[in-house]
Amino acid sequence: MLTQVLEISKTTYYASKDRRPSQRSQENDQLKEEILQIYEKSKRLYGAPKITYQLTQLGWKVSLKRVQRLMRELGIHSIIRKKYRPASNHEKVESRENLLKQDFSTTSINQKWSADITYIHTQKEGWTYLASVMDLYSRKIIGYSYGKQMTTSIVVDAFHQALQNQQLKDGKHLILQTDLGTQYTSDEFEGLLAQYNVRHSYSRKGSPYDNSGIESFHATLKKEEVYMRYYKNFDEARLALFQYINGWYNRARIHGNINYLTPQQAEDQAKMLA
């Protein structure tokens, strides 16, 4: 008989045979299902902190360590890709005043904006360029322009779009942080800022932390979208960027540094309190 072969008592054998999964085990199985749903809904981009937050919003009392362990058991993790770094520019750059000095604190929208350009590769046209403008309160991308050349026109277009989207006619209470790129120090762009009474703050040469808000967005864009795909041409990339920025980043992606709101929710909240 099997109990004799295994050298265990009949009582122990039948008890183990009839034993059901513990309540903790059943709860872990349910948690795993919830984790997978949140993970897939985020396009497999969320890591344990954001998944933990969303689980608590659904009523679960669960720790970060537990979620991390269950994610390891499921074999899932946030997508990470190496960030592209363009070759450095050895041209002499004249330093200008840094008004923000890495003080990104704000009390509402349209107080401090951040702007920068990043590189995006396509198979047909080669390198293309995205100029973005972020509101540092909401972390929302309030304007952007995508072009085949890194010209002053794309930063001007992105800024115009930000003004239009924010319905801002006078920027006397606004500071814009940019790097010392020729597009941002051009007479055309400086004249545009002066026209709207916007104060221009410049990052120090070789100090990406002076403009960390927009740098972080571009790194996230690369990790979650650009490095996950191969764009055949400019138009395909343009559509993908529109879907990512307007459909995902601004309206669906929660951010830990704005209390796990989406940028759109943070902006709407600020407007309600104004």
pLDDT at position 13 over 60? no
Q: Per-residue pLDDT averaged across 213-230, rounded?
A: 93
Q: What is the DSSP pairing of strand 175-178 with strand 199-202?
A: parallel
Give this prediction's pTM.
0.73
Q: What percent of the chain has pLDDT over 90?
A: 59
Cα end-to-end span (Å), the chain: 79
Q: Per-residue pLDDT averaged across 147-169, rounded?
A: 96
pLDDT at position 6 over 60? no
131 or 55: which carries more pLDDT confidence? 131
The band of 39, judged by pLDDT with boundaries at 50, 70 and 90, is confident
Distance (Å, whole) CA 260 – CA 119: 28
Q: What percent of the chain has pLDDT over 70?
A: 86
Q: What is the DSSP pairing of strand 112-122 with strand 175-178?
A: parallel
Q: Per-residue pLDDT averaged across 149-177, rounded?
A: 96
* pLDDT computed for residue 84 by the predictor: 46
Using one digit for the tens of pLDDT, what is the confidence trace for 16-25? Answer: 555 566 787 7
